[in-house]
Amino acid sequence: MRRLLRAEILLPVTIVLAAIVLGVSEFLTTFELTPPGGEPLDEVTAADQHSYALLMLAFFAVAAMMLAVATGLRAFAFACAGFGIAALLIFLIVDLPDAGKLGTLGGDSEFTFSTAEAEPQAGFVLEAIGSVVLGLAGVAFATLRSHQLQAPLALFGRDAEAGGKQAARQPESPRRRAEKPPPLSKARSRPRGDDA
Protein backbone atom coordinates (compact mmCIF):
# COMPACT_ATOMS: atom_id res chain seq x y z
CA MET A 1 0.00 0.00 0.00
CA ARG A 2 2.86 2.38 0.76
CA ARG A 3 4.23 1.88 -2.75
CA LEU A 4 0.96 3.22 -4.18
CA LEU A 5 1.09 6.37 -2.02
CA ARG A 6 4.50 7.53 -3.19
CA ALA A 7 4.76 10.84 -5.08
CA GLU A 8 6.02 9.19 -8.26
CA ILE A 9 2.82 7.11 -8.36
CA LEU A 10 0.37 9.79 -7.15
CA LEU A 11 1.58 12.62 -9.41
CA PRO A 12 0.78 10.91 -12.75
CA VAL A 13 -2.68 9.99 -11.43
CA THR A 14 -3.21 13.58 -10.23
CA ILE A 15 -2.16 14.96 -13.63
CA VAL A 16 -4.65 12.71 -15.43
CA LEU A 17 -7.50 13.64 -13.05
CA ALA A 18 -6.73 17.37 -13.30
CA ALA A 19 -6.63 17.13 -17.09
CA ILE A 20 -10.03 15.40 -17.10
CA VAL A 21 -11.52 18.12 -14.86
CA LEU A 22 -10.01 20.81 -17.09
CA GLY A 23 -11.32 19.10 -20.22
CA VAL A 24 -14.85 18.79 -18.79
CA SER A 25 -14.83 22.49 -17.83
CA GLU A 26 -14.38 23.41 -21.48
CA PHE A 27 -17.86 22.07 -22.29
CA LEU A 28 -19.67 23.87 -19.45
CA THR A 29 -20.85 27.43 -19.01
CA THR A 30 -18.06 29.65 -17.74
CA PHE A 31 -20.05 32.84 -17.09
CA GLU A 32 -23.66 33.95 -17.05
CA LEU A 33 -24.16 37.58 -18.05
CA THR A 34 -26.73 38.97 -15.65
CA PRO A 35 -27.90 42.57 -15.19
CA PRO A 36 -27.97 43.75 -11.56
CA GLY A 37 -31.08 42.31 -9.91
CA GLY A 38 -32.27 40.64 -13.11
CA GLU A 39 -32.30 37.28 -14.88
CA PRO A 40 -29.33 35.95 -16.90
CA LEU A 41 -29.39 37.34 -20.43
CA ASP A 42 -26.61 35.30 -22.00
CA GLU A 43 -23.99 32.62 -21.35
CA VAL A 44 -20.27 32.56 -22.07
CA THR A 45 -18.64 29.19 -22.68
CA ALA A 46 -14.99 28.21 -22.71
CA ALA A 47 -15.07 28.14 -26.52
CA ASP A 48 -16.06 31.82 -26.44
CA GLN A 49 -13.22 32.62 -24.08
CA HIS A 50 -10.26 30.72 -25.54
CA SER A 51 -11.40 28.33 -28.30
CA TYR A 52 -10.78 25.09 -26.37
CA ALA A 53 -7.12 25.94 -25.76
CA LEU A 54 -7.29 24.45 -22.26
CA LEU A 55 -8.64 21.17 -23.64
CA MET A 56 -5.66 20.87 -25.98
CA LEU A 57 -3.20 21.82 -23.23
CA ALA A 58 -4.72 19.18 -20.92
CA PHE A 59 -4.37 16.54 -23.66
CA PHE A 60 -0.75 17.48 -24.38
CA ALA A 61 0.08 17.49 -20.65
CA VAL A 62 -1.19 13.92 -20.27
CA ALA A 63 0.61 12.82 -23.45
CA ALA A 64 3.90 14.34 -22.22
CA MET A 65 3.44 12.72 -18.82
CA MET A 66 2.88 9.29 -20.41
CA LEU A 67 5.98 9.70 -22.57
CA ALA A 68 7.99 10.69 -19.49
CA VAL A 69 6.81 7.56 -17.66
CA ALA A 70 7.48 5.35 -20.67
CA THR A 71 10.95 6.68 -21.49
CA GLY A 72 12.21 8.19 -18.23
CA LEU A 73 13.29 11.33 -20.12
CA ARG A 74 12.95 14.44 -17.99
CA ALA A 75 12.41 16.58 -21.10
CA PHE A 76 8.90 15.14 -21.38
CA ALA A 77 8.32 15.88 -17.68
CA PHE A 78 9.38 19.49 -18.28
CA ALA A 79 6.99 19.63 -21.26
CA CYS A 80 4.18 18.35 -19.03
CA ALA A 81 4.95 21.11 -16.51
CA GLY A 82 5.02 23.69 -19.33
CA PHE A 83 1.58 22.66 -20.57
CA GLY A 84 0.20 22.79 -17.02
CA ILE A 85 1.67 26.26 -16.39
CA ALA A 86 0.31 27.48 -19.74
CA ALA A 87 -3.18 26.29 -18.76
CA LEU A 88 -2.88 28.05 -15.41
CA LEU A 89 -1.72 31.28 -17.07
CA ILE A 90 -4.67 31.23 -19.49
CA PHE A 91 -7.03 30.89 -16.54
CA LEU A 92 -5.30 33.69 -14.61
CA ILE A 93 -4.95 36.09 -17.55
CA VAL A 94 -8.08 35.43 -19.63
CA ASP A 95 -10.84 34.08 -17.38
CA LEU A 96 -10.15 35.25 -13.84
CA PRO A 97 -10.20 39.01 -14.64
CA ASP A 98 -13.64 38.60 -16.26
CA ALA A 99 -15.22 37.14 -13.11
CA GLY A 100 -17.66 39.68 -11.66
CA LYS A 101 -16.84 42.21 -14.35
CA LEU A 102 -19.54 44.70 -15.39
CA GLY A 103 -19.93 45.48 -19.05
CA THR A 104 -22.39 46.61 -21.69
CA LEU A 105 -24.35 43.79 -23.25
CA GLY A 106 -26.68 44.01 -26.22
CA GLY A 107 -27.04 44.74 -29.87
CA ASP A 108 -28.89 41.54 -30.76
CA SER A 109 -32.59 41.34 -31.48
CA GLU A 110 -33.16 39.24 -28.35
CA PHE A 111 -32.49 42.02 -25.86
CA THR A 112 -31.65 45.68 -25.70
CA PHE A 113 -28.40 47.24 -24.54
CA SER A 114 -27.92 46.83 -20.80
CA THR A 115 -25.22 46.54 -18.17
CA ALA A 116 -24.51 42.95 -17.15
CA GLU A 117 -22.19 41.24 -14.70
CA ALA A 118 -20.19 38.11 -15.60
CA GLU A 119 -21.17 35.64 -12.87
CA PRO A 120 -18.88 32.57 -12.60
CA GLN A 121 -20.58 29.23 -13.18
CA ALA A 122 -19.62 25.56 -12.83
CA GLY A 123 -17.28 25.68 -15.81
CA PHE A 124 -15.31 28.49 -14.20
CA VAL A 125 -14.97 26.60 -10.90
CA LEU A 126 -13.83 23.38 -12.60
CA GLU A 127 -11.44 25.34 -14.79
CA ALA A 128 -9.93 26.97 -11.71
CA ILE A 129 -9.47 23.65 -9.90
CA GLY A 130 -8.17 21.80 -12.97
CA SER A 131 -5.69 24.46 -14.08
CA VAL A 132 -4.25 25.05 -10.60
CA VAL A 133 -3.88 21.32 -9.84
CA LEU A 134 -2.48 20.54 -13.31
CA GLY A 135 0.04 23.38 -13.06
CA LEU A 136 1.25 22.43 -9.58
CA ALA A 137 1.28 18.68 -10.24
CA GLY A 138 3.12 19.24 -13.52
CA VAL A 139 5.84 21.28 -11.80
CA ALA A 140 6.17 18.67 -9.04
CA PHE A 141 6.33 15.90 -11.67
CA ALA A 142 9.18 17.73 -13.42
CA THR A 143 11.28 17.58 -10.24
CA LEU A 144 11.37 13.76 -10.27
CA ARG A 145 14.46 11.91 -11.45
CA SER A 146 14.49 9.50 -14.37
CA HIS A 147 14.09 6.34 -12.28
CA GLN A 148 11.27 7.99 -10.32
CA LEU A 149 9.47 8.94 -13.53
CA GLN A 150 9.37 5.26 -14.48
CA ALA A 151 8.15 4.11 -11.06
CA PRO A 152 4.63 3.29 -12.34
CA LEU A 153 6.14 0.98 -14.98
CA ALA A 154 8.44 -0.60 -12.41
CA LEU A 155 5.50 -1.17 -10.07
CA PHE A 156 3.48 -3.00 -12.70
CA GLY A 157 6.60 -4.70 -14.06
CA ARG A 158 7.38 -6.24 -10.66
CA ASP A 159 3.86 -7.57 -10.38
CA ALA A 160 4.15 -9.13 -13.83
CA GLU A 161 7.54 -10.62 -12.98
CA ALA A 162 6.20 -12.07 -9.73
CA GLY A 163 3.32 -13.68 -11.62
CA GLY A 164 5.74 -15.10 -14.17
CA LYS A 165 8.00 -16.54 -11.47
CA GLN A 166 5.06 -18.22 -9.75
CA ALA A 167 3.98 -19.75 -13.03
CA ALA A 168 7.53 -20.99 -13.61
CA ARG A 169 7.70 -22.56 -10.14
CA GLN A 170 4.55 -24.65 -10.64
CA PRO A 171 5.44 -28.25 -11.53
CA GLU A 172 4.36 -29.56 -14.87
CA SER A 173 1.17 -31.63 -14.69
CA PRO A 174 1.31 -35.38 -15.66
CA ARG A 175 -1.29 -34.76 -18.34
CA ARG A 176 0.91 -32.17 -20.06
CA ARG A 177 3.83 -34.58 -19.91
CA ALA A 178 1.70 -37.28 -21.61
CA GLU A 179 0.65 -34.86 -24.35
CA LYS A 180 4.23 -34.10 -25.32
CA PRO A 181 5.39 -36.10 -28.35
CA PRO A 182 8.40 -38.39 -27.85
CA PRO A 183 11.70 -37.08 -29.17
CA LEU A 184 12.48 -38.12 -32.72
CA SER A 185 15.36 -40.56 -33.10
CA LYS A 186 17.94 -39.65 -35.64
CA ALA A 187 18.09 -42.12 -38.49
CA ARG A 188 21.57 -43.35 -39.18
CA SER A 189 22.63 -42.93 -42.71
CA ARG A 190 24.49 -45.80 -44.30
CA PRO A 191 27.02 -45.33 -47.00
CA ARG A 192 25.89 -46.70 -50.34
CA GLY A 193 28.80 -49.04 -50.47
CA ASP A 194 27.44 -51.14 -47.56
CA ASP A 195 24.37 -52.30 -49.56
CA ALA A 196 26.52 -54.17 -52.03
Identify which has the larger pLDDT, 126 or 103.
126
108: containing domain: 3-30+49-153
Q: Evaluate whether residue 138 is within a structural domain.
A: yes
pLDDT of residue 161 exceeding 70, the answer is no
What are the residues whose beta carbons fall under 8 Å from the beta carbon of 59, sequence distance 6 or more? 19, 23
To the nearest whole percent, how much of the chain has pLDDT over 70? 70
pLDDT, mean of residues 144-157: 83
121 backbone dihedrals φ, ψ, rounded to 5°: -120, -170
Q: Evaluate whether residue 178 is within a structural domain.
A: no
Q: Evaluate whether residue 43 is within a structural domain.
A: no
Query: What is the CB-side half-sphere exposure of residue 31 using CA atoms within 13 A?
Result: 21
Identify which has the larger pLDDT, 60 or 183.
60
Confidence of residue 181 (pLDDT cuts 50, 70, 90): low
Q: Evaluate whether residue 17 is within a structural domain.
A: yes
Q: Evaluate whether residue 37 is within a structural domain.
A: no
Q: Evaluate whether residue 175 is within a structural domain.
A: no
To the nearest whole percent, how much of the chain has pLDDT over 90? 40
Helices 74-90 and 7-25 meet at what angle, rounded to 10?
Answer: 40
Report if pTM > 0.85. Answer: no
CA angle at residue 74 from 68 to 80, to 5 degrees?
A: 60
Number of domains in the chain: 1
Q: Evaluate whether residue 149 is within a structural domain.
A: yes
pLDDT, mean of residues 104-110: 50
